[in-house]
Every structure is written in C-alpha cells, then in structure tokens.
Chains A and B, each alone.
Chain A
Amino acid sequence: MPDATQQEIWWAVARSEEVTARKPLAVDIGEQPVVLWRDAQGTARALEDRCPHRRAPLSLGCIRDNGWIQCGYHGWMYEGETGRLKEIPNMKDQQKFPPVYRAQAFGVYEQGGMVRVCLDAKATAPTLHDDPLTYVGTAHVSLGHQEYLDALYDDPGLVIAIRGVSFTPYLMSELRNQDGLLVMERSCQWKGLHWPAPFSSDFPLTVLTQTHPVSGETKLTLRDGEMNDLLHAVIAPVPAARGVTAIRWRAALGVRHPGLRGAALRGLNPFSVRGTVDGARLRVTRPSASLHGEDLRNAMCAPELTSEAGPLTPVETVAA
C-alpha cells in the first residue's frame, strides 16, 4: 500500500488505449488493486478491484452495455463514478440499496494518453493539456519503485533504450530541485565508432529528465548540440504488487535530425522501456545521482517545504 504521501498522487496507471468498454483492466497502485474500464459515455472509471460482496476481483467480470461493471462471481453490478451497487441479478424485486452497498471508488483523470488514478477519490484533478505521444508501451519490471528510479538516475541504459543512442556516465547537470521536480541532464553519444566516453572532449547529445519526486513520473527529452529536441518521452513508473514496478510510457519524435544517425533514430520504435533489468550490471552500478536524489527528495517532501514547492501536484509541471 502506498504511504500517506502517495495517496495524493495521480498515478498514471494505464495508457488510454488500454482502458476500454469491452474488458476491465486490472492494475495496482502498490498493494492496492484497481480495476479500470470505460462507461457508456467513454469516461474512464476506477474502483477497487475487489467486490465488497465476496472479495472477488471485479476485473474478472464484465462491462454491461449501460457502463456498469458486473462481478463475474455472483453478478453484482456497480456504477463507476461512486461505486454504488446498482443491481443484484437474482433480486429483481429490490434494486434500491443502502449507501453502504458500494465498492470503493477512486479519482480518475485522463490526459495526454494516460489514465491517472488517485486513491483519494475527493482529490482535485490537475488541469493539463498535453497531446498523446505516438509511440507507446507497457513494461513490468521486477524491481521496486524507488530502486527503479535509482537505476534511471544512475544508469538509464539499465531501464530504457533510445535507438542509436548510448548513455554516458557524465552529467551536464546533476540532479536538482527545479520547481518541485528532480531535474538532471546526462551526456549521450551516437552509437558507432567514436572515442570512448572517458576520452571524448564533447558529447553530441544530452538527455534531460524531469522527475516527480514521489510518483517518479519522468518527462524525458533528447537534445542535440544545437538544442533541438529530437525525442520526447513520458515514463510513468507505478509501484505494483509484490515489489514489481509497472511502467507505462509514451514517446514522440521531435525535430528531424539529418543523416544516417537521424534515420536510425526514426526507426521502427525510437524509444523503449526495458522489460527486464540486468541484475549483474545493476548490482555493480555505483550509486551516484541516486544518493543525491534521495537527499533532494527527502528535503522536497519534508512538510515545511511541501507547500512551498508544491511537489504533490507536479504532474502539471511534468507535462507542461
């Protein structure tokens, strides 16, 4: 179960296209199971993935034509916005139920091709206006949420890949708190023949990452030396059950880079999140940026600074 701070986060638990009116989708926020679907109006809905009748997962049920979700066990039907029980099929004579007859509802907000869920149903959704990015994917990694982010800080190549690009250990800018986000910029090279990174005087590329200190949602920008944005990506790691991290991501190409290297970048899928992490490599990866990140995160999430930096709603900043 996410801690108290995480309760207020709008977690990007699914990509928009994953949530349909045909079949419920089961996701987790930590140990909290959540079921997602679209109602008859196409609005994404989120309830606890647990029928309050006999605790069966609602995600094993189905979606009715009127947009209610129906438990597959005994057929109890729930409305998505409030979680209220609407119908018990074997009790046609009584279809009004006391208010306590409800499944737990969560806040849902959809933006930028991501369906976000907040465990606090009364939380106010942020107002964002990002267009969905073209390339998409989902990965589940056997690594805890914070360990996943630490790997991203210390060696992004462990967890992500950009076609034709290799990450170097050298930072142009170490992690810092910028408007409530953890921001850093890493030098990168084009793949191919060149001086190894320790002997290179200059690097042609950088990756800028802006990370929410609690959710870990990260906006990534690949830039060339002319400060052209070659690629944008949003990586949304969410703590899932059993210490797994679920990552939804979207990416899009930016300015067209000329030549063969630019062509390589524009290949089939220029960006990807690795589904597995090389444990041997991870084990010997020296913690560097992640240690600094931990200090920054602790400072940013301290109560006296929270209101100043407003770190609990930085989804707005990430996507801005």
Chain B
Amino acid sequence: MLEVADRLSDNEALSGVAASTGSGGPAALNAINHWVPHNLVMRDAWFPLAHATGVGKKPVRRAIYSHPFFLWREDGVAVASEFHPNEKQSRASSPFTDARGRYPVMERYGYVWGWFGQPESADPVHLPSLPFLPPNGGLPGHMIGTVRFDCSAPISLENLIDLTHADFLHANITGDEKSESESIETFFDSESITMVRTCTGKSVAPVMKFFSGIKQPTQNIRQVIRIYLRSHCAIAYGRFTPGDDVPLFHPCVPETRDRTRLDYAMNTSHAGLLFRHVMPKASYMVSRQDSSMTSPQSPRYMRDTNRKDLHSRFDAPGQRYRMLMMDIANRQDAGDFAYRDDVSADCSDLIGLRKELFRY
C-alpha cells in the first residue's frame, strides 16, 4: 500500500485516491513531485479575513499574499480597502480593487470575507459552505480565536488533511494511534477535497476523558476534513461515539507566502458545559504542536527539488490536495479563473453533519 510519488498514476487504486472526478494527468504528477506551495497564488476567491466581532470603526490590518487589506465599518457595514483611511496614497491601486481602492467584501458565518481577484468576478456564490456555523454569526467569544503559523498556508492544510499526525503530535489531547481499524476515503472536485477518516475502537481523546467525562477506554471516531482549495479554508468535523461533535472552521489565510493566519471558530454549542468552553481553547496548544513541525518543514518546500517525498496510503488525500492545488494554479496561469464546481452548495451530507444539532 505504499507508493513513491512518481508512481502515483499506476497505484492510485492501491493508495486509496478515489478517482471520483478529476484527471490526475501529467500536471497532477508534477504537483506531487515538484510541490512548492509557496509559489501558489490563488486568485478569485473569498478569504475569511477577520472575525466579524473583530472589525469595528477603527481599521484593522490584514493581508493576503502581502496585499494589504484594511477592514473597518462604515455605518455598521464592513468595508475592505488596500489603503488605510489616514494613509497618504503614494502608490497606485492594485487591479484587485475598485477606483477607491476598495475590495469586494461580505459578511457571513461570523466572518468578514474579502475577495482577492478581479473585483467584477466577486460573487457570493463562491463563498464556501459552512453549515455548522450560524450564517449571521453570533458564536460566543470563547468559541473563536486566532492562531498563527510560521509556514505556508498549503503546508498547514496538508498537515490537517493527514490526521495520523494528530496521533503523535497531539496525543495528549486527541489520543494516540491505537485503534481496532482505520480507513481513509477521499472525495474531491475541482474546487474542494474531502477526507473521511473512520476509526473504531480508538483510544479515547484525553480532552474528552477529562472534560466530557467519557469513561469507556475506546471510542469510534468519524473525522472529516474538507478543504475549499482557493479560499484555503478547511472544515474539521469530528464525531466521537461516545463523545461530542466537534465542528471546527479552520481557515488558513496566506498573509504571506510563508506565514499563515488562522481565525478559527469551533461550534461546541451542543457539548457539555466544561467541554464546550475548554475544547475551543485547546487550539492554542494544538497549534503550537503543529507549528513545531510545520515551521521547520515549510522552508524545505520553498524550493523545487528532485528529492521525492515518500508516502503511505494515509497520504492519499494529501497527494490529491497537491494535485488539485496545482491544477487550479495551472488553470489560473493560463488565464482561466472560472469555478468549475460549486463551493457554496450545502455540504452537510458530505461531511456527515448531524443536522439536528446545527439548524440555522
């Protein structure tokens, strides 16, 4: 069940890369063997720039690929500009803003989203579906937060989509690798990829043992990672039996090519009192653990190399992620910025959301 990256096309079936759509042609192989995530710039996409509660009358500064985004509210409505209101305009406005230097902006799911790309192409239909978040926002403050990663955004997302890393890096929070069975499925289209990891008889996550009162030694887990490729946004949805549902919105905004901002939202509204408050804050610990690996890892992907990464069957989603990202990049290089698939379509069924818990 192992393959070297350059043999992927021969072994796709073995590796578990489900060929539901997509070509996996020569460009895809190139993506795996010559994966330089720092060179990828995704245009014509909505990026979640800030929690809606973090934007007020006073401008706050964000960035996408080093392009400045100043966010503030005018009469309660969020605006995004490439210039600070007090800034003496000494540079020309970019092609991604209008005549006033304003970016298209919209507010949804408790976030202020900025459009990075041709302003005239901005359309709410390209906003990712996040069915576990209230569309008009309003999650309590303890369920949201900000963490940063010293790495490229795709590195951070590739880290997320291979959850076997959690068994080692986050064992003290999410539990070790011991389980009776484990399977990985991958589904994708041209704009998104979804990985479903199913484990039976897995060691109970310590955070659930202590804060949810789980007494059993093992639990069954269904974890879903869904990545909206252009927006660099991920859903991480875990269903633990026995235990709670943990839906996390995990956006990785590429502020620069090697630094990532993550304004997360974990909707633990339906969990027990203690777990509801503690689990979202575990992100601070988990993110530092991730960063301990992705930070030294990232520079090693900054330049192309002939040395190929090794892969196991658990890397099939990560390999597919690389392919899909490179496919979009190639299309955009060729001037094609069109969406071929609908990212705003309700993904509740795909991620296995318990809709009775999240009725919005």
Contacts and interface: CB of A to CB of B under 8 A. Distances in A.
Interface of A: 50, 52-57, 60, 71-75, 85, 88-91, 94, 97-98, 100-101
A94 B1 CA distance: 8
A89 B297 CA distance: 21
B313 A53 contact: no
Interface residues of B, number: 25
Contacts of B313: 91
A98 B165 CA distance: 22
Contacts of A52: 307, 309-310
A220 B146 CA distance: 55
Nearest to A97: B2
B185 to A, nearest CB: 15
A71 B313 CA distance: 17
B161 to A, nearest CB: 12
A95 to B, nearest CB: 11
B4 A100 contact: yes
A57 B294 CA distance: 10
Contacts of A71: 168
Interface of B is mostly: helix
Interface in B289-313: 292-293, 296-297, 300-301, 307, 309-313
Given A74-B164, A90-B177, A60 B292 contact: yes
Nearest to A101: B310
8 nearest CB pairs, A to B: A55-B300, A75-B168, A73-B293, A89-B177, A90-B164, A52-B310, A56-B293, A56-B297
Interface of B: 1-2, 4, 162, 164-165, 167-169, 177, 182, 292-293, 296-297, 300-301, 307, 309-315
Interface centre among A57, A74, A89, A94 (most CB of B within 10 A): A74
A75 B167 contact: yes
A74 B168 contact: yes
Nearest to B300: A55
Contacts of A101: 2, 310
24 contacts: A52-B307, A55-B297, A56-B293, A60-B296, A72-B292, A73-B168, A73-B293, A74-B162, A74-B164, A74-B165, A74-B168, A75-B164, A75-B167, A85-B310, A88-B312, A90-B164, A90-B167, A90-B312, A90-B314, A91-B1, A91-B314, A97-B2, A100-B310, A101-B2
Contact of B293 (A72, A85, A91, A100): A72
Contacts of A89: 164, 167-168, 177
Contacts of B177: 75, 89-90
A98 B293 contact: no
Given A73-B169, A90-B177, 8 more contacts: A54-B309, A56-B296, A74-B162, A74-B168, A75-B168, A91-B1, A94-B2, A97-B2
Nearest to A88: B312
B245 to A, nearest CB: 24
B204 to A, nearest CB: 17
B192 to A, nearest CB: 22
Contacts of A85: 310
Nearest to A91: B312
A98 B308 CA distance: 15
A174 B164 CA distance: 61
B165 A73 contact: yes
A305 to B, nearest CB: 35
Contact of B182 (A90, A97, A98): A90
Contacts of A55: 297, 300-301, 309
